[in-house]
Amino acid sequence: MATDTGLSANIVRDPVTEQAELSINMGPQHPATHGVFRMVLTLDGERVVDVYPHIGYLHRGSERLAEGENFQQITTLFDRLDYVANFNNEWVYVRAVEKAMGVEVPERADYIRLILSELNRIASHLLFYGTYGLDTGAMNPVMIGFRDRERIQQIFEGVTGARMMHNYFRIGGVKEDLPDGFVPAVRALLDQLKVGYEEARGTLTESEIFIERTAGIGAIPPEDLLDYGVTGPLLRAGGIDYDIRKADPYSVYEELDFRVPTGQTGDCYDRYMVRMLEIEQSISIVAQALDRLPDGPVMGRVPRILRPPEGDVYVHGENPRGDLGVYLVSSGGTVQPYRLKIRGPSFCNLMALPAMIRGSYLADATVILGSMDIVLGEVDR
């Protein structure tokens, strides 16, 4: 797997103590970095002494681009930020503009958004389940994960016409009503997902090899997690039950009954388990939302040209990876935002990576990185 750009090493020997430190470059093209992430590891034997992460290999300038686009057009950029959880991204952005404009969203649209976002959360966690299996040396999970993910994408395609970049959430509602047969199709899907979930239990959750590989690795104290601004499943695995759906509820989450799974030690196995339990919770959330799905319009009263008043809003939401925040500054009377800052959850989670890897074995570095489930699209924006 060693390539000149992927993995290269040079040895620095201390002239006095004769101790050698090996410095290894990993990425930006490396199968275990989940994208174009690069880190330089300093090794003392098998132990990792230090890690220096490099990002920016996918910096597309989304924030600056957004300043030149209309409020409605920016949703397309948010689709492409965290390209594994497109609906969740769109949702946070449209909520930010809705808050700035004071737009009311019809209840049906809120439920549609919630159902699609929770399905997307499941799809995202399934992708994690698959790739994390690959990271730890199992080939089966990625097949199971993608099989089920494909089924969810089929539903998305039926609703929005696209498999990934939906651009379906609009400011004030959603683009159009659900297609006929959506509710029974999703119910059937949920049953299939439950079967897949049981399969997952056999492949990784109860696998001796997987537990040996992940338990007790990569844990840092919960206070440190918080200090670094780590959110999402990583934080909850450390025992802090901070979930924005509960802590700062938005949309109709307050009406639904679900719990926030937390771990105890914050090691890689806990992170995996928290995500798997979240799949279970999301399946239950979707089932409840389908029962309650009201009739009515799917688009609120929104002016044709959006001109939010002068001022700034900060809106955040719980993404599969953590707390996605959008800071929107409007100069008033313009159809374009003055400034749009995106707080990507992976961006902040990655800051804690050196602390997590330091002191562990080299072989565990990829396991720890994989457990963070980063998406470079929102790290670099």
The answer to whether 227 contacts another protein (rule: CB under 8 A) is yes
Cβ 365 to another protein shortest distance, Å: 16
From residue 250, alpha-carbon distances to 149, 288, 305 in Å are 26, 17, 25
Residue 36 and residue 28 in contact, taking contact as beta carbons nearer than 8 Å:
yes
The footprint of another protein on this chain (CB under 8 A) covers a number of residues equal to: 72
Q: Which of residues 104-163 bind another protein (CB under 8 A)?
A: 127, 142-143, 146-147, 149-150, 163
The answer to whether 170 contacts another protein (rule: CB under 8 A) is no
Cβ 73 to another protein shortest distance, Å: 10
Element (H, E) at 326: strand 322-330
Q: Residues near 369 by Cβ (< 8 Å), separated by ≥ 6?
A: 32, 33, 34, 37, 39, 135, 353, 357
Q: Which of residues 176-205 bind another protein (CB under 8 A)?
A: none
Cβ 332 to another protein shortest distance, Å: 9
The answer to whether 6 contacts another protein (rule: CB under 8 A) is yes
Q: Which is nearer to another protein, 150 or 191 (CB)?
A: 150
Q: How far apart are CA 252 and CA 280, in angstroms?
A: 19
Residue 351 and residue 229 in contact, taking contact as beta carbons nearer than 8 Å:
yes
- Cα dihedral 153, 158, 160, 161 sign: positive
Residue 271 and residue 240 in contact, taking contact as beta carbons nearer than 8 Å:
no
Q: Which is nearer to another protein, 307 or 339 (CB)?
A: 339
Among residues 199, 224, 284, 335, the one that binds another protein under rule CB under 8 A: 224
The answer to whether 165 contacts another protein (rule: CB under 8 A) is yes
β-bridge partners, 295: none
The answer to whether 59 contacts another protein (rule: CB under 8 A) is yes
- 268-292 and 182-200 are packed helices; what angle lies between their axes, rounded to 10 degrees? 160
Among residues 45, 56, 294, 359, the one that binds another protein under rule CB under 8 A: 56
Instruction: Pick the stretch among 55-63, 202-210, 277-285, 362-370 that binds another protein (CB under 8 A).
Output: 55-63
The answer to whether 327 contacts another protein (rule: CB under 8 A) is yes
Q: Which is nearer to another protein, 212 or 227 (CB)?
A: 227
The answer to whether 320 contacts another protein (rule: CB under 8 A) is no
Torsion of CA 223, 225, 229, 235, to 10 degrees: -110
Q: Which of residues 229-248 bind another protein (CB under 8 A)?
A: 229-230, 240, 242, 247-248
Q: Which of residues 340-359 bind another protein (CB under 8 A)?
A: 341, 343, 347-348, 350-351
From residue 226, alpha-carbon distances to 51, 223, 229, 236, 241 in Å are 20, 5, 5, 10, 12
Among residues 72, 80, 182, 190, the one that binds another protein under rule CB under 8 A: 80
Among residues 260, 287, 329, 335, the one that binds another protein under rule CB under 8 A: 329
Q: Which is nearer to another protein, 289 or 328 (CB)?
A: 328
Cβ 206 to another protein shortest distance, Å: 23
Among residues 39, 43, 48, 55, the one that binds another protein under rule CB under 8 A: 55
Residue 327 and residue 61 in contact, taking contact as beta carbons nearer than 8 Å:
no
Query: What token pair was written down for 309?
Result: 């008043």
Nearest in space to 103 (alpha carbons), one of 307, 327, 331: 307
Q: Running DSSP on this structure, what letter comes out for residue 178?
A: P
Q: Which of residues 249-308 bind another protein (CB under 8 A)?
A: none
Q: Residues near 102 by Cβ (< 8 Å), separated by ≥ 6?
A: none
Instruction: Pick the stretch among 62-70, 178-186, 256-264, 280-288 that binds another protein (CB under 8 A).
Output: 62-70
The answer to whether 219 contacts another protein (rule: CB under 8 A) is no
Site string for another protein, 81-100 (x = CB under 8 A): --xx--------------x-
What is 26-46 written as a DSSP string?
E-SS-GGGSSS-EEEEEEETT
